[in-house]
Amino acid sequence: MGRATRLIAMTDTGARSESDLPIKAVYDAADLADFDPDEKLGAPGKYPFTRGVYPSMYTGRPWTMRQYAGFGTAKESNERYHELVNNGTGGLSVAFDLPTQMGYDSDEAIASGEVGKVGVAIDSIDDMKVLFGGLPLGEISTSMTINAPAAMLLLMYQLVAEEQGVPADRLTGTIQNDVLKEYIARGTYIFPPKESLRLISDIFAYCHKELPRWNTISISGYHMAEAGATPAQEIAFTLANAMEYVRAAVAAGLDVDDFAPRLSFFFVARTTLLEEVAKFRAARRIWARIMKEEFGAKNPKSMMLRFHTQTAGVQLTAQQPEVNLIRVALQGLGAVLGGTQSLHTNSYDEAIALPTQKAARLALRTQQVIAYETDVTKTVDPFAGSYVVESMTDDLEAAALELIQAVEDRGGAVAAIEQGFQKNEIERSAYRIALEIDNGERTVVGVNRYRIDEEEPYEPLRVDPQIEIDQCERLAALRADRDNDAVAAALEEVKAAARGTDNLLYPIKKALAARATGGEVAHALREVWGTYVPRDAF
């Protein structure tokens, strides 16, 4: 067999990527014959930002190392935050429990059994003071995974900072604030899409004026990926949602360059390292062109796709959990090679329960080893010019653009959500992956191959049910101690703003400062706006 014949045979393997795109065994110069470096790459920190959003990337300083934490009471979470900061974490990432995420107080019947379970319970500014007690809010960056009630949690944070004497213009961080992906993949929505977009636009305007360094939204593909979205679907549906947010803000009278520089994104990092690197590079290029060509952005910062990455929780296994350390290291490496701005590495025991303190520390150490013991931070965009990565980047870009157009053809992200398009596409991908695991086409170490007969004993971190009782008692004491007439009057102002066009964040802040609870503010908005009921619920 001659060399040419051998190469043809090597390239025709039938291998497919996570996005179900063909992968060749050998890539060479012919794959980049039409590749224009000026058009496709540019310089690092320059349009179209394929090579990274900053000229020096990690050669100047590493990414922000965040650790996602929050469980039980605000006091317990505060202790974990102090531990993480002492171990070198540069940014905190707060997990809230389901009642907080859904706009319910801990003492409501619907919250029973869920208080403090998947994150920290925050009912009022009193809880927020405990959560961030003793932490230098003017020096750390805080990310909050909160969506429908994002305005309330952001304003509580601002109020706590004000009590610490930290001016608003020094506060840095991010609220997720991405409700559209909740309708698609996650489910912690409250209000209908139109009203949700109104509240998000108000947050954009408020932060532009009051919190200029705050990232007003983290448009998330992560949760869609966890639900089964492929890399192509992840970036396509995320950017389609982002386009909807930009349109809503522009329609509300905001100039695109006034708010777009504070938009941020949130993606997953899977173990398929090469495709993940290509995904991040393709996403940057697509977004830069959308902002420049469709929305007429003039400020280069408006065209930068800055993103946080979290390693893939869905790929962690309860079987042989220590193997997750290797998975997380590879996923974190892919995120870094792809140019992330901040990173959370999952703890190896998260498939079993909330992370133990040791596991959380190991997850942080994983990032520190990548940053300080490897050479990947010594140069910008190490894969630039790679036959395989540039080809994969082009392939992913084309696949994502096709999906974005499919969303546009249905009237945009909200209309496509109402038609169930994104959800159906993701469910099909999830089903394909599940079948591949079940029939052995896809190997999951410890699950369908390389199993062991008996797992080693493991003692997980458990949430004490007493937390719910204590939280309810705290709420009762709050309501007995505060000026309830002032709270009621402030909540009426929230309702009036919701019926009109005034920026909602100012009356919401007044209500929270009067010690209204997050649930009370959410209920005031529910009274005016109603709640979202998905089409398939009928």
pLDDT in tens, 9-51: 445 568 999 999 999 999 999 999 989 999 999 999 999 999 9
Question: How are the residues of the chain apportioned to helix, strand and coil, as percentages rounded to the nearest 5?
Answer: 55, 10, 35
Q: 311 forms bridges with which residues in the sheet?
A: 269
Task: Give the integer Cα–Cα distance in Å for 455 and 322.
Answer: 11
Query: Pairing relation of β-strands 217-220 and 91-95?
Result: unpaired
Amino acid identity of 166? V
Pair 358, 483 in one domain: no
Asked if residue 398 belongs to a domain, the reply is yes
Pair 433, 470 in one domain: no
pLDDT of residue 11: 53
Compute, in degrees rounded to 10, the torsion defined by CA atoms 289, 291, 295, 298.
-100
Q: Which two tokens stand for residue 164?
A: 């610490």
pLDDT in tens, 88-115: 877 788 989 999 999 999 999 999 999 9
Rg for the chain (alpha carbons), in Å? 23
CA distance between the termini of the chain: 63
Q: Give the single-character DSSP code of 96.
A: B
Pair 473, 430 in one domain: no
Pair 497, 396 in one domain: no
pLDDT of residue 17: 94
Asked if residue 12 belongs to a domain, the reply is no
Residue 459, pLDDT > 90, answer no
Asked if residue 333 belongs to a domain, the reply is yes
Pair 189, 144 in one domain: yes
Residue 538, pLDDT > 70, answer no
Task: Give the integer Cα–Cα distance in Å for 208 and 203.
Answer: 8
pLDDT in tens, 171-229: 999 999 999 999 999 899 999 999 999 999 999 999 999 999 999 999 999 999 999 99
Domain CATH code at residue 141: 3.20.20.240
pLDDT in tens, 397-416: 999 999 999 999 999 999 99
Amino acid identity of 135? L
Q: Tell which of 438, 457, 475 closes a domain.
A: 438
Backbone angles phi, psi at 337, to 5 degrees: -65, -25
Asked if residue 185 belongs to a domain, the reply is yes
Identify the domain containing residue 498 by its residue range. 466-537
Asked if residue 458 belongs to a domain, the reply is no
Residue 68, pLDDT > 90, answer no
Task: Give the integer Cα–Cα distance in Å for 162 and 211.
Answer: 12
Task: Give the integer Cα–Cα distance in Å for 538 and 535.
Answer: 6
Could you tell me where the beta strands, DSSP code E, fall in 428-502? none
Amino acid identity of 313? G
Pair 429, 475 in one domain: no
Asked if residue 444 belongs to a domain, the reply is no
- In what side-by-side order are the strands of the sheet with 91-95? 214-215, 172-175, 141-145, 91-95, 64-69, 342-344, 307-311, 263-269, 217-220
CA distances from residue 456 to 101, 361, 452 in whole angstroms, order as listed: 35, 21, 10
Q: Which helix (H) or strand (E) holds 352?
A: none
CA distances from residue 135 to 73, 141, 145, 361 in whole angstroms, order as listed: 16, 11, 19, 19
pLDDT of residue 536: 64
Pair 203, 303 in one domain: yes
Asked if residue 459 belongs to a domain, the reply is no
Region of 370 on the Ramachandran plot (φ > 0 left; ψ -120 to 50 alpha; else beta):
alpha
Pair 417, 474 in one domain: no
Three-state DSSP at 461 gives strand
Pair 405, 352 in one domain: yes
Cβ atoms within 10 Å, residue 134: 9
Whole-prediction pTM value? 0.91
CA distances from residue 472 to 211, 276, 355, 469 in whole angstroms, order as listed: 32, 44, 25, 5
Q: What is the 3-state secondary structure (H, E, C) of 122-154?
A: CCCHHHHHHHCCCCCCCCCEEEEECCCCHHHHH
Question: Please, which pLDDT band fits residue 117 given cuts at 50, 70 and 90?
Answer: confident
Task: Give the integer Cα–Cα distance in Å for 443 and 447.
Answer: 8
Residue 6, pLDDT > 50, answer no
Which of 80-94, 109-123, 304-318 is least confident?
80-94
Pair 148, 71 in one domain: yes
Pair 66, 173 in one domain: yes
Cβ atoms within 10 Å, residue 428: 13
Pair 426, 330 in one domain: yes
Which of 76-85, 114-123, 435-444 is least confident?
76-85
pLDDT of residue 118: 85
How many domains would you assign to the chain? 2
Task: Give the integer Cα–Cα distance in Å for 415 and 253.
Answer: 22
Share of the chain above pLDDT 70, in %: 96
Asked if residue 8 belongs to a domain, the reply is no
CB 271 within 8 Å of CB 312: yes
DSSP 279-331: HHHHHHHHHHHIIIIIS---SHHHH---EEEEE-GGG--SSSTTHHHHHHHHH
Residue 2, pLDDT > 70, answer no
Pick from 161, 178, 139, 400: nearest CA to 286: 400
CB 411 within 8 Å of CB 299: no
CA distances from residue 67 to 87, 111, 284, 345 in whole angstroms, order as listed: 11, 26, 24, 7
| pLDDT, mean of residues 346-366 | 90
Burial of 465 (0-12, 13-18, 19+ CB in 10 A): exposed
